[in-house]
Amino acid sequence: MTPAGDPHVVLVTDRAFLPWCATAILSCVETATTPVTVHVVHADDVTAADRDLLRQVVEPAGGAVRFHVLDAGDLEQLPTKGAALGGRMSWGRIVLADVLAELDRVVYIDADTLVFDSVHRVWEFPMEGAPVAAVVNVTEAARRDHLRSLGFDDPREYFNAGVLLLDLAMWRAEGAGDALADVARANPSLSWFDQDALNIVFAQRWRPLDPRWNVMFSFWLWADVAGELLGADAVASATGDPGIVHFEGPPVCKPWHYLCPHPLRDTHRAALARTPWARTPLDDRTFGTRLIARLPTPWRLPAYSRLLAYRERLAQRSRPASYR
């Protein structure tokens, strides 16, 4: 059964992630061929002026926007990813059934995405009684022990949580929000945080979306692994005609990082340039990274890893001995 009406999309952000959130939203509303309602679930550091700027992104492009403040107390006890990756914000996914109490279905997209095709095609995907639809995560061989430790022997059983279609009515009926919070508190060192928790709670109960709805950087970086898990033809057609591109991975994989090597980095930057956050400077554009940018492409990321390790040693040396 497909839902009645026009699509509802939700993103979760704090003030630091607003430029990227606004870029994802702009791309989503502009590519939609049906009117979209965008729900922005935000931390309490987002101001009324910020919300006005987001309205200026959505409304001229033909969408509607609704804001929902996230109660920081709900997330306080959960582990953080660190400031550069949005802190605790991604845990906002686990409270969506409560925050969006008026909705029975929603398309969730990360703030580190760029939309290329009308989101109503995801919204209308037949869930056939599943609480979640998502794309298989491209897990490289070195991380498969982690999946096995969670009970996933086949990496195709583990989804990426950057783009999700959620049956919120079912989440409420089964108390999924509480189950997710319980898993998080019982396993405080889950290495992939809420994505692990979502996979544990919805194990064997999610439906696979076409990979073009969550085209991860790993489709390019590890094309052989992606092909093994998703099929080489599906990966090739996803990168050739993406629905939603997801800039997953460490900070250097984000298009707002000075050294980002992603093939669609400039497309993202061009979209950002059409938002009120156009003047946001790139991350880590420093003397050291400008030197690295002049190296041949294959040398850049290894050189950047060494720069990060060097900075870490400096930081440790400058800390008082008692903090080491």
Q: Which stretch binds Mn ion (CB under 5 A): 55-63, 150-158, 160-168, 171-179?
A: 160-168
Question: Of 111-130, which residues contact Mn ion (CB under 5 A)?
Answer: 112
Pick the closer one to Mn ion by CB: 152 or 247.
Answer: 247
Angle made by CA atoms 268, 270, 276, in degrees to the nearest 5: 100
Pick the closer one to Mn ion by CB: 89 or 200.
Answer: 89
| Contact between 15 and 50 (Cβ < 8 Å) | yes
Angle made by CA atoms 99, 100, 105, in degrees to the nearest 5: 140
Q: What is the 8-class DSSP label of residue 126?
A: -
Q: Does 14 bind Mn ion (CB under 5 A)?
A: no
Q: Name the β-bridge partners of 12.
A: 41
Q: Nearest residue to Mn ion, using CB?
A: 110
Please state, in angstroms and rounded to a whole number, the distance separating the CA atoms of residues 199 and 193.
10
Please state, in angstroms and rounded to a whole number, the distance separating the CA atoms of residues 245 and 263.
11
Burial (CB count <10 Å: 0-12, 13-18, 19+), residue 66: middle
Q: How far is the CB of 112 from Mn ion (least distance, A)?
A: 4
Pick the closer one to Mn ion by CB: 38 or 292.
Answer: 38
Pick the closer one to Mn ion by CB: 112 or 284.
Answer: 112
Question: Of 50-89, which residues contact Mn ion (CB under 5 A)?
Answer: none
The two counts, helices (H) then strands (E), for the chain are: 15, 10
Pick the closer one to Mn ion by CB: 84 or 307.
Answer: 84
Q: How far is the CB of 2 from Mn ion (least distance, A)?
A: 27
Q: How far is the CB of 209 from Mn ion (least distance, A)?
A: 15
Q: Does 248 bind Mn ion (CB under 5 A)?
A: yes
Q: How far is the CB of 89 from Mn ion (least distance, A)?
A: 11
Q: Which stretch binds Mn ion (CB under 5 A): 50-58, 110-118, 121-129, 149-157?
A: 110-118
| Contact between 161 and 93 (Cβ < 8 Å) | yes
- Please work out the total of residues on this chain that contact Mn ion, with binding judged by CB under 5 A: 4
Element containing residue 314 per DSSP (H, E): helix 297-318
SS3 173: helix
Q: Which stretch binds Mn ion (CB under 5 A): 28-36, 74-82, 107-115, 256-264?
A: 107-115
Q: Does 110 bind Mn ion (CB under 5 A)?
A: yes
Q: How far is the CB of 247 from Mn ion (least distance, A)?
A: 7
Q: Which stretch binds Mn ion (CB under 5 A): 212-220, 235-243, 245-253, 303-311?
A: 245-253
Pick the closer one to Mn ion by CB: 167 or 248.
Answer: 248
Q: Does 194 bind Mn ion (CB under 5 A)?
A: no
Please state, in angstroms and rounded to a whole number, the distance separating the CA atoms of residues 233 and 106.
29
Strand 215-216, strand 132-136: pairing: unpaired
141-148 long-range Cβ contacts below 8 angstroms, 24+ apart: 141/225, 146/191, 146/192
Out of 7, 131, 155, 162, the residue judged to bind Mn ion by CB under 5 A: 162
Query: How many Cβ atoms from other residues are within 10 Å of residue 246's Cβ?
Result: 25
Pick the closer one to Mn ion by CB: 14 or 248.
Answer: 248
Pick the closer one to Mn ion by CB: 110 or 194.
Answer: 110
Q: Does 167 bind Mn ion (CB under 5 A)?
A: no
Structure tokens at 2: 């497909």
Which residues of the shown chain bind Mn ion in the complex (CB under 5 A)?
A: 110, 112, 162, 248
